[in-house]
Structures are given as C-alpha cells and as structure tokens.
Amino acid sequence: MSDGTLTVEGTVHTGRRGRGGRKELRAGDAPALPPPGRVPRVARLMALAIKMEGLVRVGVVKDYAALARLGRVTRARVTQVLNLTLLAPDLQETLLFLPPVAAGREPLALRELQPIARLRDWRRQRRAWRELTAGRRVGKEG
C-alpha cells in the first residue's frame, strides 16, 4: 500500500535568465564554469578593434572620429586600437584566443604590438611576433 508520497530523481541546477533575472530551476547538470582568470587586455582590445572597424564599414558610425567621440577617447587612441586590425589574420586570432591571466602581469601590452602592426608584410610581422613572444607564455606561436 502506498503512503501517497512521490519520489522523483534527476539532476537540476539553478540559473538566471539574463542579468538580474529571476532565479529558476533548470533540468540537467549546471553549465561548466569559465576558466579561472581574466581575459587579457590585448585580447579585449583586438575584439574591440574588429567590432569598431565593422561599425564603420557598415555605416553605423560615420568615421573613426565619431567612434572617438562615442567612446570618449582621443582619435589617437582609436587609431592605436584599430591598428591591431593591420596584423596578419593568424596573429589576430592568436590575440583573440590568448589564455586567461590567472594573476600578475599581462603577457603582452598594446604598445609592444604597435611596431609589429606597422609592418606591411605579414611574414615580417610573424617574424617580429616570434621575436617578441620568445620565452613568454602567450599561446600558440604565429
């Protein structure tokens, strides 16, 4: 004879729909946590450069001066960031997928990449990249 209780077995986790959303139960295992550490600054700047270039290309923003006004930075700073789009595609990809920085200093700084971006020949850029990153832990070599 049954006592009227019901037993349900399964895996659930709590989650939120969007930022500040209501907590809700969801079926299945919880999603994997992101790797510890922070995204390197040059990786964020590379993504920003690609996004800004796209905004100008499709006409959402008139020009780079307008980007500077919107971002409340100087036109020179916009140029510094957009110079990253002059890097060889494989170097851009390497920057985008740099491993997270767990603690301490960043492996690369934007100022170190500027001379490489000014080189017009991608083979010379790759050579300069290898020289810059020799002995550093910055991800796959270009």
pLDDT of residue 139: 63
- Strand pairing report for 23-27 and 12-16: antiparallel
Pairwise CA distance, residues 56 & 69, whole Å:
13
Q: Which pLDDT score is estimated for 141?
A: 43
Q: Which residues contact 17 (CB under 8 A, 6 or more apart)?
A: 24
CA angle 104, 110, 115 (to 5 degrees): 135
For each of the chain's 142 residues, which pLDDT tens digit applies? 568 888 878 777 777 776 677 877 777 777 777 778 899 999 999 999 999 999 999 999 999 999 999 999 999 999 999 999 999 999 999 999 999 998 888 989 999 999 999 999 999 999 999 999 998 777 654 4
Q: Which residue type occupies 22?
A: R
Rounded to 10°, the helix 41-57/89-96 angle is 130
